[in-house]
Amino acid sequence: MEVTCFTVGMFQVNTYLLKDTTTGHCAIVDTGETDELVHRLKALSPVPDIKMILLTHTHLDHAGALTMLQEHWDVPTYMPAADRPLFETLPRQGTMFGMPHLDRPCGRIDHEVGDGDTVKLGDTTLRFLPTPGHTPGQGCWHDDDDIIVGDTLFSGSIGRTDFPLSNPQLMADSLRRLTLLPGHMRVHSGHGPMTTLGEELINNPFLGYIRDERGIAGAPGFPWMPGLGLQKYEEE
């Protein structure tokens, strides 16, 4: 599978074009909040053979341009089922964050996905891994080598858990589960550069509690949530 990143919009969100190398079939992952991604995809030669739209979660910077994409590609759209309550706030999310000009219509959802669900992109099987915390339904799409994580994990950081409907404890549990996947897997985040799961497990300061729990040597941890077993760092 080929993964191409398009960073778009005022939030500089990473959207992705996934391409099955056997058939040429493509999927869009996340949308941005403007029509920039539409124009950038239409400018490619040849124009990608889009077969589906996948969402990692439904904050406006990741799902706000869904209707704009669907006007050009009438293809099935997949959304984490647990993010339905957040998705339904898209028409007022801009206002919620002090930017009413970014209120967006919801768009069409054809399939709601949960733990272990799969989709076929040509000869590539993409699996859905729920990683709630940043949002109730935040999740990741992955094959054996690449994982699109939305705002779960970043290079050197993690997704925010201070938004409405966020849950720090769920985020801590999700990061535990995510880092059980093979370390060679390339991490394609919702913002910032690509990394790997192995790199983050050793060096990400927000994963210090996981290193402590598993007896893994690495960089000092940052106590971003009470009760994560990082007292030794809090005392320093």
User: What does the alpha-carbon distance between residue 126 and residue 117 come to, in Å, rounded to a whole number?
Assistant: 9
Whether residue 228 lies inside any domain: the answer is no
Q: How far is CA 186 from CA 108, 149, 189, in A?
A: 30, 10, 10
How many Cβ atoms are within 10 Å of 203's Cβ, its own excluded?
14
pLDDT value at 184 more than 60: yes
pLDDT band at 232 (very low <50, low <70, confident <90, very high): very low
pLDDT score of 231: 38
The whole domain housing 147 covers 2-203
Whether residue 63 lies inside any domain: the answer is yes
Strand ranges in the chain using DSSP code E only, listed in sequence order:
2-8, 13-19, 25-29, 49-54, 77-80, 111-113, 118-121, 124-130, 139-142, 146-150, 153-154, 157-158, 186-189, 195-196
Whether residue 233 lies inside any domain: the answer is no
pLDDT score of 189: 98
CATH code for the domain of 16: 3.60.15.10
pLDDT value at 117 more than 60: yes
Q: Span 4-17, mean pLDDT? A: 97
User: For 200-228, how does the pLDDT look when each residue is reduced to its tens digit (9 = 90+)?
Assistant: 999 999 999 999 999 999 988 888 876 66
- Look up the pTM and report it: 0.94
User: For 152-163, how does the pLDDT look when each residue is reduced to its tens digit (9 = 90+)?
Assistant: 999 999 999 999
SS3 186: strand
Whether residue 174 lies inside any domain: the answer is yes
Q: Span 165-187, mean pLDDT? A: 97
Average pLDDT, rounded, for the chain: 94
pLDDT score of 87: 97
User: What does the alpha-carbon distance between residue 122 and residue 218 come to, in Å, rounded to a whole number?
Assistant: 39
Give the total number of structural domains in the chain: 1
Whether residue 230 lies inside any domain: the answer is no
Whether residue 104 lies inside any domain: the answer is yes
pLDDT value at 234 more than 80: no
pLDDT score of 223: 84
What is the b/e burial string over 129-147, where b = at least 16 CB atoms within 10 angstroms of the residue's CB? bbbbbbbbbbbbbbbeebb
Q: What phi and psi values does residue 59 have, to the nearest 5 degrees? A: -65, 155
